[in-house]
Amino acid sequence: MSASVGVFDSGVGGLSVLAALRDALPGVPLHYIADSANAPYGERSREFITERSLALTQHLRDQGAALVVVACNTATAAAADALRCQHPDLPIVGIEPGIKPAAAASRNGRVGVLATTATVNSARFQALIERHAAGAQITAVACSGVVKHIEEGDLDSPALRELVARYCAPLKLAGVDTALLGCTHYPFIRTLWQAELGPGVQLLQIEEAVALQAARLWSTPLRAAAPAPIRLATTGEPAVLERLAREGLGWEGFALERCTV
C-alpha cells in the first residue's frame, strides 16, 4: 500500500484543499473522505465533531495515510488538539481562518470573516483574533445554512443568493475591505460572495497555505512525477462529490466510493 495524504472534511468543501494539495504534491496519492452523511459540522456539538474527526482520521491511517489534513475549519477548531493527542506520531495539518494575513492585507483595518456557527463560536477562533488581529476590527458572521445548499449541489439558487446577501450585509455595514472565506465549502460560491460584497472587497482563502504546510511536513519519498492516484470517498451520496470533482476541478480518472466509517 503506497503512503498517502489523507484528507477529510464535513462534506465536499475540502475538495478546494485537495486541489491545492494536488498542485503541491503531484506525486503523492491522495485519499479524501467527505463526511456528507453528517454535514454540516457547523451546526453540530463539539463532542460530535471530535468523535467523527477521530473516527475518520483512524480510518485514513488504517488505509495508509502518512499525513492527515483536516480540511475543515470547524473540525480543526473542535478536534485538532484531540487528534494530535490520539496520534502523536502522525503529522496533522489543520485549517483555520487566516486572521493574520487578512489583517496585514487590509488597507482600512476592517476585516470580515464568513464562517460556520461552530467556528465563529469556538475558543480557538477567538484566540486567533486575540493573537493575530493586530488592531484590526474583525466582523465575524456565522453563515448558517450555506453549507447545506452546497452539499446538495446548489451553487446558484435564489434561496442561496438570499443567504449570501444576508450574511454579507454586516460586512458591508462595517465597511470591510477584506473578507475571509472561513469554510472550505465557500470557495465553490466565491462569485456569489464577490458579487454581493463588490469589487472593492478582496476575498482571501487559506487552501494554498495549508497545502504548502503539508508539503513541508511530508517525509515519505515521492512517487514519480506523473500525477498519483486520487481516491474520493463519501459517507453520503456520491453524486455531488463526483460532480464537483469533474466540473468544479476538471478532474477525471479518480476512484469514487461510499465509505461506512
- Write down the mean pLDDT value for the chain: 93
Alpha-helix runs per DSSP H in 66-206: 73-86, 99-105, 117-120, 123-132, 146-151, 158-174, 190-197
Q: Could you list the residues known to form a binding site for substrate, using ranges.
A: 9-10, 41-42, 73-74, 184-185
pLDDT given for residue 115 in this prediction: 95
User: Could you tell me if 95 and 71 are in contact, meaning their C-beta atoms sit under 8 angstroms apart?
Assistant: yes
Query: What's the rounded Cα separation, in Å, for the pair 36 and 68?
Result: 18
Average the pLDDT over 32-60 and give the result. 96
Q: Is the entire prediction scored with pTM above 0.75?
A: yes
* DSSP SS3 for 113: strand
Share above pLDDT 70 across residues of the chain, in percent, rounded to a whole number: 97
pLDDT given for residue 17 in this prediction: 95
Does the fold of domain 99-205 match that of domain 4-95+208-258? yes
Pick the CATH number of 99-205 from 3.40.50.1860, 3.20.20.70, 3.30.70.1290, 3.40.50.300: 3.40.50.1860
- pLDDT tens for 213-230 read 999 999 776 555 567 899
pLDDT given for residue 223 in this prediction: 54
Query: What's the rounded Cα separation, in Å, for the pair 156 and 153?
Result: 9
CATH class of 4-95+208-258: alpha beta
User: Could you tell me if 13 and 222 are in contact, meaning their C-beta atoms sit under 8 angstroms apart?
Assistant: no
CB atoms within 10 A of CB 55: 14
Query: What's the rounded Cα separation, in Å, for the pair 172 and 163?
Result: 14
Residue 136 in this model has a pLDDT that exceeds 80: yes
User: Could you tell me if 102 and 204 are in contact, meaning their C-beta atoms sit under 8 angstroms apart?
Assistant: yes
pLDDT given for residue 249 in this prediction: 85
Q: Could you list the residues known to form a binding site, using ranges.
A: 9-10, 41-42, 73-74, 184-185
Average the pLDDT over 83-108 and give the result. 95
Q: How do the domains of the chain map onto residue ranges?
A: 4-95+208-258, 99-205
pLDDT given for residue 247 in this prediction: 86
CB atoms within 10 A of CB 23: 12
Residue 20 in this model has a pLDDT that exceeds 60: yes
Return the active site residues: 72, 183
pLDDT given for residue 134 in this prediction: 86
